[in-house]
């Protein structure tokens, strides 16, 4: 296939190397499972309130071990963005707090699911005396007390890293009220971490069916489908998500991955450019995605420039060494035509 693209042997090396880079980003292995298992993990995302805005108080994001030891912490940016690099592939807990909002807590098993974990976190306003908290997903207010009690118990289990306990409580919650979208979504997370992706997909689809304006299950499902290389199914999910929430940049990021997987390269590039329009501080890996697009189009100078931009933004990042090697191979192959300053 590469020969049909007219690439020389040195160009083939760069092409294959960056394709492996892309595979790591979307959680799909291309014969590099052992290498991927040794790669450090990046967790990134954005925090908003129920209206989709950034909370007006400092948002503290922490990653802790299951026994409470702090691994990393930071204050989210003015756009609500956060990221942590260099995490080990092990279970941990993501905790997000802000004045005036309920504590968010999620157990994550970083040993499964690739080396990039993307989170879109919605904080819920804490109820004040005489003033109810704003509505969350529509189904929250409809869920009976017994279901909400089971959901709260599951949250406690997740905070302790007890996936089996959480699964049991969440199953009881959705049995009490099958259209409890938030419970279905959290059940899917647990099921996916336990390796039951088929049941996780069913739970996410149920969450979307019951509460179509609750956007979290859309990109949870799309990311899982991309990881399974079911790109056409992923695009359908993401397009509906975009219709519901057109300014959520994560939708376009995952849609770019899906279009690339389908071989629709120009559409992939358009989605990545849309990410840049919506998110003033996109993840540095976006440059890697664009570089892969430009390599496919044989726009080698543009690919080289994107890799350089990645190094400027994250010079010690997990992909830095690989990117530097590719750039050196491209220079040695003589496939670059413009002076370095003009490669944009």
Residues 6+ apart with CB under 8 A from 110: 41, 43, 87, 88, 89, 90, 91, 92, 117
Q: What is the pLDDT of residue 273?
A: 95
| Helix/strand/coil for 64 | strand
Alpha-carbon gap, residue 289 to 287, rounded angstroms: 5
Q: Residue 133: which region, alpha, beta or left (left: phi > 0; alpha: psi -120 to 50)?
A: beta
Mean pLDDT computed over 324-342: 82
Alpha-carbon gap, residue 308 to 33, rounded angstroms: 27
Lowest mean pLDDT among 16-20, 120-124, 266-270, 280-284: 16-20
What average pLDDT is seen over the chain? 80
β-bridge pairing 91-98 and 81-87:
unpaired
Mean pLDDT computed over 327-340: 84
Return the percentage of the chain with pLDDT > 70, whole number: 82
Per-residue tokens: 14:
């760069």
For the stretch 127-153, pLDDT in tens is 543 333 333 567 788 889 999 999 888
Highest mean pLDDT among 21-25, 192-196, 253-257: 253-257
Q: What is the pLDDT of residue 342?
A: 54
Domains and CATH numbers, the chain: 1-39+229-344 (1.25.40.10), 43-136 (2.60.40.1120), 138-212 (1.25.40.10)
What is the value of pTM for the model shown?
0.67
User: Is the per-residue pLDDT at 2 higher than 70?
Assistant: no
Residues 6+ apart with CB under 8 A from 331: none
């Amino acid at each position: 296939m590469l020969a049909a693209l007219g690439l020389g042997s040195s160009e083939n090396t760069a092409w294959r190397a960056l394709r492996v880079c892309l595979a790591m980003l979307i959680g799909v292995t291309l014969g590099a499972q052992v290498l991927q298992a040794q790669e450090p993990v990046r967790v990134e995302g954005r925090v908003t309130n129920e209206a989709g805005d950034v909370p007006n108080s400092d948002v503290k994001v922490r990653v802790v071990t299951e026994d409470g030891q702090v691994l990393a912490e930071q204050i989210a940016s003015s756009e609500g963005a956060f990221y942590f690099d260099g995490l080990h592939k092990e279970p941990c807990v993501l905790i997000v707090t802000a004045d005036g909002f309920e504590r968010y807590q999620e157990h994550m098993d970083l040993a499964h699911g690739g080396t990039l974990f993307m989170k879109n976190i919605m904080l819920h306003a804490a109820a004040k005396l005489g003033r109810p908290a704003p509505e969350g997903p529509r189904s929250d207010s409809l869920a009976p007390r017994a279901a909400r009690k089971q959901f709260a118990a599951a949250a406690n289990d997740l905070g302790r890293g007890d996936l089996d306990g959480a699964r049991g409580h969440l199953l009881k919650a959705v049995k009490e009220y099958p259209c409890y979208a938030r419970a279905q979504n959290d059940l899917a997370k647990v099921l996916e971490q336990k390796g039951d992706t088929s049941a996780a997909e069913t739970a996410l689809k149920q969450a979307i069916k019951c509460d179509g304006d609750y956007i979290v299950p859309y990109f949870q499902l799309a990311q899982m489908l991309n990881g399974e290389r079911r790109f056409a199914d992923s695009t359908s999910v993401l397009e509906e998500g975009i219709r519901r929430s057109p300014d959520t940049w994560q939708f376009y990021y995952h849609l770019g991955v899906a279009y690339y997987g389908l071989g629709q390269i120009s559409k992939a590039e358009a989605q990545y450019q849309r990410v840049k329009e919506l998110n003033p501080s996109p993840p540095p890996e976006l440059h890697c995605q664009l570089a892969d697009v430009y390599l496919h189009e044989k726009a080698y100078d543009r690919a080289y420039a994107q890799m350089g931009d990645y190094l400027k933004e994250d010079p010690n990042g997990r992909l830095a060494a690989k990117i530097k090697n590719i750039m050196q191979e491209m220079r040695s192959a003589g496939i670059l035509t413009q002076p370095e300053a003009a490669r944009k």
